[in-house]
Amino acid sequence: MSLDSVSSQSRSTSSYAPTSTAQAIGNRWAIAAGHPLAAGAGARMLNAGGNAVDAGVAAGFCLGVVHPDMVSVAGVAPILVHVASTGQTWQVSGVGPYPRASTVQWFMTRHGGEIPPGLARTVVPAAPDAWCTALARWGTMSFADAIAPAIEYAQRGFPVSAFSAHQFAANESKFLRWPTSAHLMPGGRAPRQGDLIVQSDLADTLGRMVAAERRAGGSRVDGIRAARDEFYRGETAKRIAEYHRAESGPLTYDDLAEFSVEVEPALRTTFGSLEVAACGFWCQGPSLLQMLNLLDGVDLRALGHNSPAYLHRLIETIKLAFSDRHAYYGDPKVMKVPHERLLSKAYAEARRRLIGDRAWPDIPPPGETELTPPRPLLSVAGGSDQSSLDTSYVAVVDADGNAFSATPSDPHVDSPVIPGVGCVVSPRGSQGWLDPSHPGVVAPGKRPRLTPAPAMMLEDGRAVMPFGTPGGDVQQQAMLQVFLNVTVFGMAPQEAIEAPRVASRSFPDSFWPHAHAPGKVEAERRIPRDTREKLAAMGHGVSEWPDWEWRAGAVCAVKVGSGGTRWAGADPRRGALAIVR
């Protein structure tokens, strides 16, 4: 594969620092992904004449194979697709619902009022359907072509990256608690950098899907649908359901067979002359739109990049948006969300008045809507461990201007690998609530509010920057900072991504048990000490991160520059990679 420019990776330490600041620039296509082999898989599709969706799907499936510390093939995968020929931007709902058996009472009686690790937190896996739906609707290649790199790495093995080796080692005991995950722990220990991991069962699962496509005949779309149906209604579905039955898990064959993702227009807001697209209120994506509404029209440049006043403004903005996220966000299929009110500019103007010179000591109250909670929602006092494994990301723009932005997730530490399937089935139920008054309360057929949430910047109807990141509750915070670095401060994507970041923790965490740390702000050590001290004087509880902290996210972005050039940036905090041609 001939590649004109490739960005750098990072070195292996407890935090991650770049070895260079290479900027990938070209004029045909660009891809940036959270793992080098996934970026290469997408580039392979583009070099073969595929479009952005073919490349994004290939990279997404590949992430489930080569990045099992962060992603499962049978996990979640929210997707945004921009179709250049029509100017439309679409969202694919990449998260599945709780099974019929998963009720609050079930968790109370069987699991002592907890949402514990293991099969109990399983939801219907959405990623296979999401990838197949995007490929069938907007791609050009067959399922077999798009899945080929993933199958190769599953069959032949892949070398463990520096970042993954660090995460495997740090979470060794969590992986080892699941005997069916032994192939990820060869020799009963965490794999080291460069060790080979082979996933034969997973290769067979993907192979069954390819075989179903071949048997289907007919059109390209018919074949992709047959591959998808093998997972949800064929042998794979039977194996998943049987394991849950044998191990007292909640997921059944009918839960799988009746599932399908939704395709809808993406949500949008404006920021100056730009538009930003996000997925719906079934994830935290709209919180980024709310943050941008709160900042639209504010002279941020005059505050100075990463100055105390600027960071204070961002932190308080994040807290306001996350207060509404906590009070109102949930599955719109089964509950009412005041979406028009939350995304209106007038609402943002009223909320903006709550930002003063002093930090809110805790999460501010939510804004007033027709659904304002009658009392504060429950959360657990005190801090929580925010170092849990999470997610990855892929962004693509092709030569025609089609764009792809997706945030696949579900690490293999939260639940056992399904024997004969070869991967974890989405344990995203960990983002549910057992408080009946909460919009995210567990219910059969209801989707948990998802943290993975890609975004896309548009200008004059064209996609000019798909971007996103892993990072749990840090995702929208890191994406906001990178977006502003590019649009307000004129940074190139790589520079914008490498700039030091902060993150608020002053809200209930999205993951069970939803603990929160009122007033806490985490800041990379590259933020000057004087700045951190001034933030503390404003009332922020500042905690120091290392210079390059993986928990600060791993933003990737592809930007369309003047004259149609493609700029790509990849975050060195987790060893992401950008490829441009």
| Predicted local distance difference test score (pLDDT) of residue 380 | 58
pLDDT at 170 over 50: yes
Question: If you ran DSSP here, which 8-state letter would residue 360 be given?
Answer: -
Which residues in 262-287 are b (16+ Cβ under 10 Å) and which e? Answer: bbeebbebebeebbbbbbbbbbbbbb
The residue-averaged pLDDT of 257-266 equals 98
| Nearest CA-CA partner of 116 in 416, 403, 463 | 416
Gap between the Cα atoms of 271 and 292, Å rounded:
6
Q: Provide φ and ψ at 466, rounded to 5°.
A: -75, 135
Structural domains present in the chain = 5-164+195-263+392-431 (no CATH), 270-386+470-553 (1.10.246.130)
Q: What is the pLDDT of residue 292?
A: 98
Per the CB < 8 A criterion, the answer to whether 24 and 41 are in contact is no
Percentage of the chain surpassing pLDDT 90? 90
Q: What are phi and psi of 568, to 5 degrees?
A: -130, 140
Mean pLDDT of 196-225: 97
Q: Above 50 in pLDDT, residue 17?
A: no
CA distance 276 to 194: 39
Give the pLDDT mean for 432-446.
Answer: 96
Among 21-35, 180-194, 561-575, which is the least confidently predicted range?
A: 21-35
Q: Which stretches of 162-307 are DSSP H helices?
A: 162-170, 172-176, 200-216, 220-233, 235-246, 253-257, 285-295, 300-303
Of the pLDDT bands very low, low, confident and very high (cuts 50, 70, 90), residue 371 is confident
Structure tokens that stand for 182 in this block: 């032994």
Looking at the DSSP bridge assignments, the partners of residue 456 are 277, 466
Asked whether the beta carbons of 410 and 403 are under 8 A apart, the reply is no
Residue 363 has pLDDT above 60, yes or no: yes
Which one has a higher pLDDT value, 322 or 24? 322
Q: How is residue 479 written in tokens?
A: 């994406």
Q: How much is the pLDDT for 96?
A: 98
What value does the mean pLDDT take over residues 354-379?
Answer: 85
User: DSSP label at 181?
Assistant: G
The mean pLDDT of 194-223, rounded to a whole number, is: 97
Q: What pLDDT shows up at residue 61?
A: 98
Which among 471, 509, 484 has a CA at the least distance from the CA of 325? 509
What's the confidence (pLDDT) of residue 563?
Answer: 87
**What b/e readout covers 20-57, taking b as 16+ CB neighbours within 10 angstroms?**
eebbbbbeebbbbbbbbbbbbbbbbbbbeebbbbbbbb
d(CA 305, CA 526): 13
**What's the chain's average pLDDT?**
93
Which pairs count as long-range contacts for 498-501, CB under 8 Å and 24+ apart, including other chains? 498/18, 498/21, 498/571, 498/572, 499/305, 499/306, 500/306, 500/524, 500/525, 500/526, 500/527, 500/547, 501/477, 501/552, 501/553
CB 461 within 8 A of CB 87: yes
Residue 386 has pLDDT above 90, yes or no: no
pTM: 0.95
* pLDDT for the residue numbered 379: 57
Q: How confident is the model at residue 455 (pLDDT cuts 50, 70, 90)?
A: very high
Task: Please say if the pLDDT value at position 94 is more than 60.
Answer: yes
Average pLDDT (90-101) is 98
Whole-number pLDDT of residue 27:
78
Predicted local confidence at residue 387, as pLDDT: 52
- At 388 the pLDDT is 66
Amino acid 3: pLDDT = 35
pLDDT one-digit tens code per residue, 392-404: 999 999 999 999 9
The pLDDT value given to residue 362 = 95
Task: Reply yes or no on whether the pLDDT at 536 is more than 90.
Answer: yes
Please give the pLDDT value at position 390. 84
Over residues 50-78, the mean pLDDT reads 98
Q: How confident is the model at residue 133 (pLDDT cuts 50, 70, 90)?
A: very high
Beta strands 541-545; 520-524: pairing state:
parallel
